[in-house]
Structure 1
Amino acid sequence: MIVRRGGLRLTRSVRSAVYRGASCHVAYRPRMTTGLNGDLRQSARYNSTRSTVIQLLNNIGSKREVEQYLRYFTSVDSQQFAVIKVGGAIITQNLNELASSLAFLNHVGLFPIVLHGTGPQINEILEAEGVIPDYIDGIRITDSKTMSVVRRCFLEQNLKLVDALEKQGVRARPITGGVFTAEYLDREKYQLVGKITKVDNTPIEASIQAGALPILTSLAETSDGQILNVNADVAAGELARVIQPLKIVYLNEKGGLIHGETGEKISVINLDEEYDGLMKQPWVKYGTKLKIKEIRDLLMHLPRSSSVAIISTGDLQKELFTDSGAGTMIRRGYKLLTRERLDQFESLDAFKMALIEDPFFAGSAHLVDSYVDSLNDATFKVYADEPFEAVAVVKESVGDIPILDKFVVSKDGWQNNVADNVWSAVQSDRKCLQWTVPEDSERASWFFDRADGSFVKNGRILFWYGIESADTITNIIKDFSNSVTQTASSRIQPHQPRLYSTLARPNIGRTLNNQGTCRYYSSSTKSARVALIGARGYTGQNLISLINSHPYLEIAHVSSRELAGKDVEGYTRSAVKYENLLVDDVARLEKEGGVDMWVMALPNGVCKPFVNGIADVGGNGAIVDLSADYRFDDTWTYGLPELNDRSVIANSKTVANPGCYATGSQLAIAPLLPYLSGQPTIFGVSGYSGAGTKPSPKNDVNVLSDNLIPYALTDHIHEAEVATQLGTNVSFIPHVGQWFQGITLTISIPLQKHLSSKDVRSIYEERYDGEPLIQVAQDIPLVKDIAGKHGVVIGGFGVHSSQPRVVVVATIDNLLKGAATQCLQNINLMLGYDELAGIVLN
């Protein structure tokens, strides 16, 4: 299920898993013990937990999946992680495996609520006593004799599971009453069978607060104390309605629902599509019919994205921690649609908005428009669910094998098995198919599971299914090989710097995000000489400090008319004095080849003569300009690495460093560009260092004390800068506050359709996945926490209750990522260094 409630609440026994690099460190708060033996037990528990998590990372899924789901599960109160319904047969046949799986979850800090049945045990006792179990519509008729057996079996099985968990080192608490209040379902028809009227989760919360897994039976009581039998599937559903957990899991011995005619396990049931037809099937009867009906009734009371998984005990970890899941997934879903012409779409914009998530388009609406227009000249068929969480485009090929041209799935689409629904529709419609996927795709394993064969070349994988002819397979491999060879050749440019090296810095590594951008690495270790023109201000001082700790850069010249002749403070690698360099001096130094990188740290409108002087002598020096003079010049490269093509920056000689407000604003708005319905409004407040060192009311601490000063209420240059780079108008209202350093931006963004806060945050997490200087936070970031740090924090994600509008908050240090840090990123890219060389992450 995909239901979130509140923030992470740590109880005294909750542990959190923290992963760094390829290794795993698990930090947790163990139960307090005393003495040497207690310390040893605590250490052993730590090592056991650590080994368990590493085993999960190595065996059941990718590290990305496990990290993603652990963050996901620990984002809510402990009692809202999962409701797990355990069939009675599981306790008899798979008790140790069940206890081990539940212990595993507890070791990584999770507290599932376990509710078990005891049907097979009851039947065994009744049959031994010569009583034939009797059911109506899947519900056990429970007379007084049967009730005595039911109660005894529930208590025995509950204790058995609790004991098994305690042997695994996990505290567990039996809860055999006090949770469910009921009235008679139909006393004449079913006798002592209850209909739950109230769920009291107080005993459950108390158990979790005490650090114990709650183990429930489905027994209920009337208001006057009469015990009533309730079907465990029904009780699990009622419990889930109240708890609204992230996951609802039914464990059974078959590992899912089995089709009564084919004998095969059903992987997905899309209730909106299949419920009516499924309930008419002759094999859907008794407990199976009741289970499906109860699950449907439950899901009708939960968000549409909710789901129920019916799996085996052995698949519990796979279901919870991987995208592929296991067993049978039941969800309301949406009805699937197919389209064979563009004019058949009710909303072509919705189709385009789904396609823009494809990394191939890199978020470009223009590329998406071109692709959709090209479909007018093609024979194609689109398969999708109604909200376009998963979209497949199949094209007819010149040969006999159709091509899956696009398969685009949102994050929720993967987590909720919408991808499986759409894939099943494609597979039932197409007896054979071919498609390609990047070799480093996070979803490659998913496609491997659905293919009959594959072939890898030049970083791409060719997949196919349903092709029986060896000659046909040979032909598609030949065509694929030719196409990827030509594509690879067309990408090779002479002297093109590499986007990464195998000698990546620890804990960062090569990163490719879903927009096709990546962290930039290079193997260059050649030293380079930097000259700073106009380095008197705060930004210049911060840049000098960064260069001082850079492994390969050295300062050759620092120019400041006011400080000429004084020692450059903050630079300790050699003795450097401030100079008063004129345009002719700069041109001479460039001509002599004494400078590899020029940094213009001058006020707006001042640096052009210096730039022209460098250009006139035809030298090899590169330039980064910190002013706004060239941010609107198409002949210069705009240097915002997280949003612009890093390879373009790397191959540029002249780079315009973005403004501080503009950097934070663009990073905070860019992920939602495909969803915009209007003009974002940016309310920005900067510390007074942003007003520079020249005295003015905006940096006068006496004026600013207990004050907030708005300025440049319209037409601020950063407003034009953001609008130009994002391709959409924005409103920007800047202010200066009474702190020294750091910017906070509160941005109201109108959307084309309503998105949940979770949806919005997921969009940002995907967009900035692998960007070490961008942090996506659930809470509202505070400006006091960003001062002195190199990155940007984006969070809040407040969604309006009735309007399709979200408010996003971003914080950035105006002197670092807003100026000096970003300048050093650009210098590193242009000179072929690791992008973060000299930037110590904090």
Structure 2
Amino acid sequence: MLTLRSTASAVARRARGSACRLPAIYGRTLPRATIAVDIVARREYGSPSSDSISTRSTVVQLLSNIGSKREVQQYLSHFSSVSSQQFAVIKVGGAIITEHLESLTSALAFLNHVGLFPVVVHGAGPQLNKLLEDAGVEPQFEEGIRVTDGKTLAVARKLFLEENLKLVEKLEELGVRARPITSGVFSADYLDKQKYDLVGRINKVNKGPIEAAINAGCLPILTSMAETPEGQVLNVNADVAAGELARELEPLKIVYLSEKGGLFNADTNEKISAINLDEEYDHIMSQWWCRYGTRLKIKEIKELLDGLPRTSSVAIIHPADLQKELFTDTGAGTLIRRGNKLTTASALSDFEDLEKLKDVLVRDREGLDARATVDRYVEGLKLREFKAYFDDPMDALAIVLPPTSSTSFSNLVTFTITKAGWLTNVADNAFAAIKKDYPKLVWTVKEDDENLTWFFDKAEGSLSKDGEVMFWYGIENSDEIKELMIEFTKHGRSMLGDSNLEARLQRAAMAASGMSASVKASSAQVQQARAFSTSARRPLSKSSRLTRSSTLSRGYATTTNPNPPFGNKNSSNTQPAKVALIGARGYTGQALINLLNAHPNMDLRHVSSRELAGQKLKGYDKRDITYENLTAEDVRRMEQNGEIDCWVMALPNGVCKPFVDAIEEGRGPQNSVIVDLSADYRFDSKWTYGLPELVNRADIAKATRISNPGCYATAAQLGIAPLVPFLGGSPTIFGVSGYSGAGTKPSPKNDVQNLLDNIIPYSLTDHIHEREISTQLGVEVAFIPHVAVWFQGIHHTINIPLRDSMTSRDIRQLYQERYAGEKLVKVTGEPPLVKAISGKHGVQIGGFGVHSSGKRVVVCATIDNLLKGAATQCLQNMNLALGFAEYEGIPLD
């Protein structure tokens, strides 16, 4: 364990002597590899003194506890290479000020104490929502933009000034000079006065006040408010303001502080460590999980970085991780940069300028014969198949020799990166490209290389001997590993390559050993390697041994999951899917037919109904279809012939098994998708439960057997799910459905005359949906269904016991955060109404009435049982499983 307080004090005493006034430097007691380092130094205002210089030295030493001293010094040198206002623009959301003020101000103080001046711009959205709510004003948004009338602006302006002062005062308490800048920076005109009222579009940024603050030794703290030429104050989004600042200042870093700490890949539920836009943008934007806020954020960041120097990058991080993100190679959040697009070559003729290639190879060679050696090396490439990877300026160059007839693995023989290449992280990009092309790779590095752990991060195994380390990945065959160990321990570099490039290539060309791998990895080459992990540093034993790399390096979104999330299905599918509907007589079947009719990529081919066989299908315009009475044998034959891509079972419970069995028996080349709308397979572990808002969408996308959730069950689960971690008992669900939920077969439950002025309870205990809800949520619930006189639509009133006391506002915020970006879930303050949901394709959740004890809340949820409760949800599942956009063909309100 490392105690930062005692360490800092000891360093300071040695630097200045016990009689000197010491800065009050403190931090939490943390393991060495832990990130959270809160540094605060109280100092006198004024020009830099020996105290402040010593403070910087102390802080740098403390910062080295979260990374290597090399990393810290390199990044400080990098950040200090530009003017102060070009270091970083940091956007601070209102929630960060409210919930993480200590972490935020400690991080900003930290930066200031090493001589850096980030430009901070903040918002106050959550606080404004609360103030408006307390004032009885419902916040209004149009296309995600807050409509700002005069009353709202007055409240917002007062709030912004208060939040700005709160941040400034807290920094001042920590000994950091901070200057509030609440006007004079952003000039704007109206975004759309008729639509948004007092909302501005920034048209000019005046950096004079920012430069004046920094020149006076103060951190500039800006509000996201703008003024028109006439002096009218306008509200602007803080993200937009930060972007405009970045365009004017061209900083090295644009930092968005986020409580989530980054962007996440929904396939793996892992944080996306880094995105290289030049290489990965199109791939990322094609992923099913890249939608709504995530999609918009990445698109806006690309547009921003396209107009900035390549050295600029965007980081999305938690405020407590700011130091690690900025000063270590591994980073902490999501790093987004343009990167340099790689080119490949498999022959010397593929290089436009052969002399430039030689110049690149010479730059890391030592000795008077360097040029002659490189000439022989290039000549040697003519004798051997190879593949080279390089960017346009050739800041990065890697050369790989493919497997020979005697080996199954490839050899990385050249790997050279300039300082500029490391700053734009082409090294990781190049290695990722190599790994895609070559599943098995071997290379060697000197044991004393200070960046050795970067190679550990890239390797799956290693072996050390006589000052050399051999690395590999993808080699799992024990005989191959044994061969590598024997050759390396017996012959060392004489078999695996040495510093003589010519000899190395000649040996490779003759395939004498079949594995010639030597990577020159000097400190000049691999400095600032982003994928470096200082916590992974380990001494290498002089005895030969295998070492598995257990560190997590900064990876890429495409290498996190290089395969499409849909298995064999194309995520950008443009071929119409052939659909067969079994059981189309009911209300749900007709609702689905209507949706398929409007879908650009669904081709309904067969509709089966015993009662309607021989009649023309109405409501479908793409082709003439006649109802059929398909038998199980018909279905087996059609499946065997590959005639159908997706089968939809719209049959009553307990009826569809013979058809499913027939599809299984006749499984042909298509391996078609089945979506079952009944309850028959909702408890079958071999089937995927298709509730996209609560189930991992990747599981649905990869599935061929999907059980569509029940209507009651869908609304109930969405109404309870955000509170499952806070439950203090079993929820009780009082549900009322329109009579369409009772089906088309005549019964007292769908007899309008019987329902008139009436409500009918049924299946008061042990209803199938009660089991379904309990199974999926993992908690026992009580469900009491009823039917009423309206045709379609369900209302749930859900009583939920709470473990701890909570407020209505806290609960509502939980739901808003949980369903943020979900197009078919709407969270409202008031209890939703059936007449408002009937004919709509989503779910509405509201009410949030909390008992006076704070230990019980009543949540209301509404759903159209024929649409999101059945047909719409079915289409969501079909889209995902067949490789189309999830909401394709679904009218969105």
Which TM-score applies when normalising by structure 2?
Answer: 0.47
